[in-house]
Amino acid sequence: MAANRDRVRALLPSEPAWLAQVHGTAVADLDSPAGDRQPEADAAACSVPGRVAVVLTADCLPVFLCRGDGSRVAVAHAGWRGLAAGVLENAVAAVGGPPGRVLAWLGPAIGPAAFEVGPEVREAFARAHPEAGSAFAPRGGGRYLADLYALARLRLASAGVAAVSGGGFCTWTERERFFSYRRAKPGGRMGAFIWIAGGH
């Protein structure tokens, strides 16, 4: 892992701000460097050019966000727990400004034909948004296939973000391109990096 991080670091404008991810909703503000401390958070936001925000995923959904004028960016790790609890809403708030001017891009995650979950997952989303039920297809035996992309779009829309692109990947089936925790564990992780150009 250390060797891979060294390779990535050589391609970036600065050392990435690695997070201690816990499938929660906290957003680390990277405008004030944390030194050697690794923030416990599942999203990070920044407006300092050249400072790199990153989350690690391998089936969970990475969501990239930025203000329309490019003055502030964020990236979020949205597994189902964090997504249901509000990590995207918190990340949108951390980007700041009118949500209608925030741009979002959905990175690679496990696709809706592969993400099998129990009824508790469906209930966790439906409690806050009854319309979320449409993102779950019955699988039989009380199980469902969940569409993380549809759920993320719903949560972003509820936060006021209309400009959403990306999605359509499947980390489970696209084995030549992506790591998948469900397909091979323990396994690798993919880094989702974002920064504002211009730093050194």
- Where do the domains of the chain lie, and which CATH numbers do they carry? 2-194 (3.60.140.10)
For the stretch 41-83, pLDDT in tens is 999 999 999 999 999 999 999 999 999 999 999 999 999 999 9
Confidence bin at 37 (pLDDT 50/70/90): confident
Q: What pTM was estimated for this model as a whole? A: 0.93
For the stretch 152-169, pLDDT in tens is 999 999 999 999 999 999
Residue 75, CB-side half-sphere exposure with 13 Å CA sphere: 23
Q: What per-residue string of b and e applies to 122-161 under the rule 16 or more CB within 10 Å gives b?
A: bebbbeebeebeebbeeeeeebbbbbbbebbbbbbebbeb
Q: For residue 199, what pLDDT is reported? A: 53
For the stretch 85-138, pLDDT in tens is 999 999 999 999 999 999 999 999 999 999 999 999 999 999 989 999 999 999
Burial of 96 (0-12, 13-18, 19+ CB in 10 A): middle
Tell me what percent of the chain is helix, strand and coil, each rounded to the nearest 5: 25, 25, 45
